[in-house]
Structure 1
Amino acid sequence: MFGHPRDSEGQEDHWIPLSDLMTGLMMVFLLVAASYMTDMEIANYKIRKIAVRYSEVHDALYRDLAREFRNDLPRWGAELHRDLSIRFREPDVLFTTGSDALNPRFKAILDNFFPRYIAILDSKKYRHSITEIRIEGHTSSFWNKGTPPNSDAAYFNNMALSQARTRSTLLYVMELPAVSGERPWLKRVLTANGLSSSRLIYRSDGREDPVRSQRVEFRVKTDAASRIARIIEVAK
């Protein structure tokens, strides 16, 4: 009968350290959570900062390209898009049907266009933000009368043709004397990409536009995506 108070005191003696332990664990949890939130906030801040920087570089580069080529693009049969691609959209000017040899008119355009284009991209303002300059070759889904459009044969034949055309274009512009000083940098960033009919252009009624689908595009990629990926990886 008289042992119960002693037992209660013993239980209280055990509960006090246990409550302290729970409090300590809760504090550790809160510190870990706070640290995690701080890391995530820092990562989000860095991502937002890169996004703002990318937008600034993107918009400035678009303005500089538009200013440089605004009088030339119409007579070249070309157009500048907001994604920073410059599209040469008149297939008869570019190549002979079924050939990867550059037409004289296209060579003359590249003689004028490419050195001025690279002078902008390789300037101190943009050079360190650019990871790739893509020469893209695109075709329609047609090959010849004996090959059904959108067939595997048409796709693979057009793939070989578009790849050959972009290689011919890359070889020609790399050999231009006006860009000889930028050649080491161009070897790191300039690529040739034949895409066959994978990115067709369509008319307003939803049908393929076979003429406009045949084109050569110069496209710029920046380091924004790779920087964001590195931040996310570190924050994991």
Structure 2
Amino acid sequence: MEEKSSHWITISDMMSGIMMIFMMIAIAFMVTIENDKKQLEQQNDKMRDLAKNYSNLQQELYKDLMKEFGKDLMKWNAFIDEDTTIRFQKQDILFDVGQKRVKERFQHILNDFFPRYIKILYSEKYRDFIEDIRIEGHTSQDWEGAQSLERRYLGNAELSQERAFQVLKYCFSLPSIADKQEWLITLLRANGVSFAKPLATDELSRRVEFQASFKANEQIQKILEAASNKK
């Protein structure tokens, strides 16, 4: 009888041990989930802060651009969007039809606009946060003599790229920004967009745009990499 009782005690102890193991695993799992939850909350907080900072920078830049150029926009036939895109949008001022040479009237505008624009972007408020400064050439969907979509697109892609480059070349050579050239080399880009981003009319679609973008993508990538390294 004693031997049988001892046998059941051993099984009972074993079951208790197994239960303790399961409890420890459950507790460890709960702790892991709680830690992951805290890490996720921290990442979300960082992302929210980043989004807020990005939005604040855009808003501040928009205000500074409007303060600097607001009185000039009408005479330049220009427009500043809330995403800080500056749009020069009157074809007969910018280029001759089908040509890439920057017209004299647009050169005078760039002489006035670009040094003031760079002065804002180079200010302490924005300088370290700028990822790139893009000059974009845009066209309408027209292309003389072209019947196919491919011919119209490729012809306008080449023309828009040449126009954007000619604007970049002219701006970069201005004596008034000579002391910023090394900085601009790392940031200034010329992109031809063809008619990929049309506006309401063909006339408005034929335009040149300037836009500075901030380092949000770079910061997001750093946060994601940091989170990945903790796993």
Place the TM-score, normalised by the shorter chain, in its bin. Answer: over 0.9
Alpha-carbon distance between aligned partners in 1 of 2:139 and 2:55, rounded to the nearest angstrom: 31
1:163 and 2:161 aligned: yes
1:205 aligns with: none
The alignment status of 1:147 with 2:134, answered yes or no, reads no
Structure 2 counterpart of 1:190, which letter? L
Report SS of the residue matched to 1:79: strand
Pairwise mapping of residues 43-192 of structure 1 onto structure 2 (< 5 A)? 43-144=43-144, 146-148=145-147, 151-192=149-190
1:226 aligns with 2:225: no
Q: CA RMSD in A?
A: 1.3
Using the size of structure 2 for normalisation, the TM-score is 0.95
Amino acid at match of 2:190: A
Task: Compute the displacement of 1:147 (Å).
Answer: 1.3
Q: What do the CA deviations read for 1:195-235 (whole angstroms, capped 9, x no partner)?
A: 00111112xxxxxx111110000011101222123212322
Aligned sequence identity (%) = 36
Gaps of 5+ in 2: none
Whole-angstrom CA distance in 1 between matches of 2:206 and 2:117: 22
Q: Which amino acid aligns with 1:125?
A: K
Query: Displacement, 1:35?
Result: 1.6
Matches within 5 A, 1:190-201: 190-201=188-199
- Structure 1 range deviating more: 24-33 or 188-197: 24-33
What amino acid sits opposite 1:26 in the alignment? A
- State the distance in 1 between where 2:187 and 2:73 align: 24
> 5+ unaligned residues in a row in structure 1: which ranges?
203-208
CA distance in 1, matches of 2:73, 2:226: 43
Q: Cα offset for 1:3? A: 5.1
Any idea what SS the aligned residue of 2:186 has? helix
CA–CA separation in structure 2 for the residues paired with 1:178 and 1:35: 55
Letter in 1 for 2:146: T
Residue 210 of structure 2 aligns to a residue whose secondary structure is strand
1:57 alignment partner AA: L
2:227 corresponds to: 235
Deviations 1:152-187 (A, max 9, x none): 101000000000011101010000011011111100
In structure 1, what residue type is equivalent to 2:28? V
Tell which deviates more after alignment, 176-185 or 21-30. 21-30
Matched pairs, number: 228
In 2, Cα distance between equivalents of 1:193 and 1:139: 12
Letter in 2 for 1:224: A
State the one-letter code of the partner of 1:106: F
Amino acid at match of 1:228: I
With normalisation by structure 1, the TM-score equals: 0.93
Aligned equivalent of 1:217, options 202, 206, 209 = 209
SS in 1 for 2:189: strand
Structure 2: how far apart are the matches of 1:142 and 1:57? 37
Q: What CA distance in whole angstroms lies between the structure 2 residues aligned with 1:222 and 1:4? A: 78
State the AA in 1 paired with 2:157.
Answer: M
